[in-house]
């Protein structure tokens, strides 16, 4: 079974631009979560989607948004990029939000550099 895939793997943008990152979950998984990882703040939860609905959102500004499609694929968008948005963005999938006995499977991440 194929794992979680994220595209693109690397991205360089300039301040003020916007960016869209994509995540394809493991087949059959309907819950997708996004995390931001930086050296200073560590791993922080961005948001979670299940059945095309956002269930939870972390403490990030409105410039960070996302969506989920009917095939469970998810995208996240960051508008008006700032230098501090440079990070590794990780996507995780799981069967369902209430599957507490199931682990979340993480993709390889998209490394975003904002210049």
Partner 1 sequence: KQEVTQIPAALSVPEGENLVLNCSFTDSAIYNLQWFRQDPGKGLTSLLLIQSSQREQTSGRLNASLDKSSGRSTLYIAASQPGDSATYLCAVKDAGNMLTFGGGTRLMVKP
Strand 10-13 and strand 110-114: the pairing is: parallel
- Binders of partner 1 among residues 21 to 40 (CB under 8 A) are 31, 33, 35
Nearer to partner 1, 3 or 61 (CB): 3
Which residues lie below 8 Å from residue 55, measured CB to CB, with a gap of 6+? 48, 49, 97
Residue 13 sits at φ, ψ, to 5 deg, of -130, 170
Nearer to partner 1, 55 or 79 (CB): 55
Asked if 60 is part of the footprint of partner 1 (rule: CB under 8 A), the reply reads no
**CA gap 90, 106 in Å, rounded:** 7
Would you call the peptide bond into 8 cis, given omega within 30 degrees of 0 as the criterion? yes
Find the binder of partner 1 among 50, 64, 66, 114 (CB under 8 A): 50
Smallest distance from partner 1 to CB 80, Å: 25
Asked if 74 is part of the footprint of partner 1 (rule: CB under 8 A), the reply reads no
Smallest distance from partner 1 to CB 18, Å: 24
Asked if 88 is part of the footprint of partner 1 (rule: CB under 8 A), the reply reads yes
């Amino acid at each position: 079974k194929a794992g979680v895939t994220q595209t693109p793997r690397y991205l360089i943008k300039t301040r003020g631009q916007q960016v869209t990152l994509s995540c394809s979950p493991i087949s059959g998984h309907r819950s997708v979560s996004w995390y931001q990882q930086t050296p200073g703040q560590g791993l922080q939860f961005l948001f979670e989607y299940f059945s095309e609905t956002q269930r939870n959102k972390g403490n990030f500004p409105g410039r960070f948004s996302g969506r989920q499609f009917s095939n469970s694929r998810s995208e996240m968008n960051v508008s008006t990029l700032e230098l501090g948005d440079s990070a590794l963005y990780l996507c995780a999938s799981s069967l369902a939000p209430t599957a507490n006995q199931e682990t979340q499977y993480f993709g390889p991440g998209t490394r975003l550099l904002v210049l």
